[in-house]
Structure 1
Amino acid sequence: MTATPTHRPTAAALNMVGAMCVIGVIDIYVAVIAETISVWQFLIMRLLLAAPIILALSAMGFGTVRPRRVRAVAFRSSLIATGMFCYFGALAFMPIAMALAGLFTSPIFVLLLTAFVLRQRIGPWRIIAVAVGFAGILVVLGPSGGSLGWVAVLPVLGGILYASGVVATRALCEGESTLTLLLGIFVAQGVLGTVVLAIITLMNVQVGVGGMAFLTRGWIWPIGEAWLYLLVQVIGSVIGVGLLNRAYQMGEASHVAVFEYSIMIFGPFFGWWLLGQPVTWVQGAGIALIVLAGVIIAVRSREPVAQHPVPGAQPGQRPTDLPPEGGR
């Protein structure tokens, strides 16, 4: 197929790889931020820093921030915001390679939700992908997962909630702008952070040690050098999501989605290079299995389906074929 201004596979792939490189860099510093403030304060400050940027982009004509369906956007935003809390929270306890492996099980859970909630046939290849993906989860967690205890399930829970948000996007948020959905996530994260931080303060929760401090600290001020990492994290998130959405606008979703897994290279690489986080060969094998599962899902999503279409989907599209709007 000849490339057109709306179908540019090479540019789409480059934009996606660029997005994953940016996100892979900024997310490793959540572990550094966790040494100073709580995840709840982190979520609140992400909102305070990101909202002006998003509102400025809207004022410049890049899209509206006014939702068409407030309840649908709020529901979708709450799911993804809670999923991202699980991911960010996990980064205080484990290397980014393990946290990403859990979060990027989301295509597997999108597939399961498609089959059991939306009642769409998924076919044998996708069933194989689910089995391969879950095998990858077990390999990545391995003995390390046992030593982490309940924390080991945090990134996988994040993947489940993120997947639920993706399905909600497809089914409930047709026609909402990227900026609306992106701001919705930041607002939901800010609300979540405010509520939990208020509970911690009122109940005078004892601050834990190590990674638990990221979950149990109250409001800290001043925050010193954490300001710089917060600013980089927020600006990087907006840039990364912008590149991600641009990639899906330029190319076929099932083609572009494969390149999203490049973060499984960038995240562990930068974690090792900049923070000295180790990645064992066993974990690498598990990551490879999860990536393989995602690639199978993306490639096989080109098959047409006509049963029980999702609102907003074009004929022959599945929930996983539609580009995500919004993001982190």
Structure 2
Amino acid sequence: MEKTLQELSEHVGGTVVGDPSVKISGVMGIDDAREGDITFISNDKYIRKIDQTKASAIIVSPKLRDTNIFLSQQTKRNLLVCNNPYLAFAKLIDLLIYKKPVYPEGVDPSARIDKTAVLGHQISVQPYVTIGKNARIGNRVVLHPCVYIGNGCIIGDDTIIYPNAVIYDETIIGKRVTIHSNTVIGSSGFGYAPDGQGYYKIPQIGSTIIEDDVDIGANTTINRAVMGETVIRKGTKIDSQVVISHNVEIGENSLIVSQVGIAGSAKIGRHVTLAGGSGVVGHVTVGDNVTVGGYSGVINDIPSNETYLGAPALPIRRMRKCYVIIEKLPEMRDLIKTLEKRIAQLEGRNETAQTK
């Protein structure tokens, strides 16, 4: 598909600086863009590449547009000015490049579907799918090869589940959910009671609920509750290789990045970002609009509207000061040793003076 820069501007709600009639047919990163492509800059460190990119147009924010380097380049570069360049970039990929997959409609003969299961309209049940007793599958659901849907599961309309994902019994999944390959939802939580010699497994008899418009990456595990519910609220996006334990609740529109671990009964608020590799201990509460930095460890409750960093996680301003001190620890150690020697010398002189 080919569009003019002006047409793209109207699609994303931006403003053209330069030639509005230039033709755009592709979307690429700034290093790989060629003539006919549009690229974007959302970070100051990429500004230096505007002289190198071969893109026919660049998406920038109003703030970046007003920097000296862009002001001096306006006669040479075509710009699409948007408040959110990254979002505009994503929308243009959708418009110009992305082709929605077309799935074979119907049930493959190799699928194993219990006679009590209820199937919606226009579904795609692909080879070797298993659907258990009393499961309910909504309209336009796509189940890729080797997906397992357990007894009593409910899968909402327009949900897509990719190959080899396993949905355990009694799991409820909402509408427009995407679950990627090898993800497991509804497995038993890690619960054991010591009995003096070993460990007695605590039955996990609760359920797992995934609300509407949730995306879940590959190789992620979401455990069922011991009792009650493990809940992922609507709009939340979960990356690959994440572990979410029993009775966790994650609020609406949160972002859980790769390799995050959330222990049992933690409560995560709305619009929370847990960056890659971070961890949350059990039975703590993370407030709304919180950001936890990568590889941080949350061991206490965090109030709303805060950014935390480090292990243990501290408010970011405080932790930055700690990092500065950590870098200076070797010099501080040497200084302390020097001061200790001088104090010892002074105390020795005082003792000598007193004896005289």
TM tier, shorter chain? Answer: under 0.3
TM-score, L = length of structure 2: 0.19
Higher strand proportion? 2
Q: Taking CA–CA contacts closer than 8 Å with sequence separation of 6 or more, which of the two structures ends up with the larger relative contact order?
A: 1
TM-score, L = length of structure 1: 0.20
